[in-house]
Structure 1
């Protein structure tokens, strides 16, 4: 899968992997606002055999296939919850 990686200018060591160059419309609006401006970092062909230094490539490929993007955060950062498929579901204000 051909991927485009962008670095967040607001969150150090935080990257967004996209299936389309400048495909920022794929990102949920709250996440895009949180990350701020994104700077192009890398274009790469990602395969199941390719080893990634800081990410599980199976997880990256699955997120890219399912939603068109993957969020890479520094170890132990809570933003990675955004990679869960229903992370941007609407929350009922009464139920929470």
Structure 2
């Protein structure tokens, strides 16, 4: 699956993965507000065998397939998970 990764300009080490480039309309408003501006950082082909530094590729793929986006949080930042909804 082709993925597009963006870095949050407001929240350090927080990344947004999308299935379509610049398709921010599908994000919940609370998540958009939390992330602030986004900077494009990477385009990659992702499959279950690809090793990622801090994420499980199967989890990322499942979220991308289910909702069209995945939020990668910094280690220890689980309180942001509520903004995903």
TM range (shorter): over 0.9
**Greater relative contact order (Cα < 8 A, sep 6+):** 2
RMSD: 1.1
In structure 2, list runs of 5 or more residues that go unmatched.
none
SS in structure 2 of the partner of residue 75 of structure 1: coil
Pair 1:41 & 2:53 matched: no
8 Å contact from structure 1 (residues 72, 80) kept in 2: no
Structure with the larger helix share = 2
Pair 1:7 & 2:7 matched: yes
Partners in 1 of 2:73 and 2:23 — Cα distance? 19
In structure 1, list runs of 5 or more residues that go unmatched.
89-96
Partners in 2 of 1:28 and 1:81 — Cα distance? 11
Q: CA offsets, 1:47-88, max 9 Å, x none?
A: 1110101001110000000000000011110213455xxxx3
SS in structure 1 of the partner of residue 16 of structure 2: strand
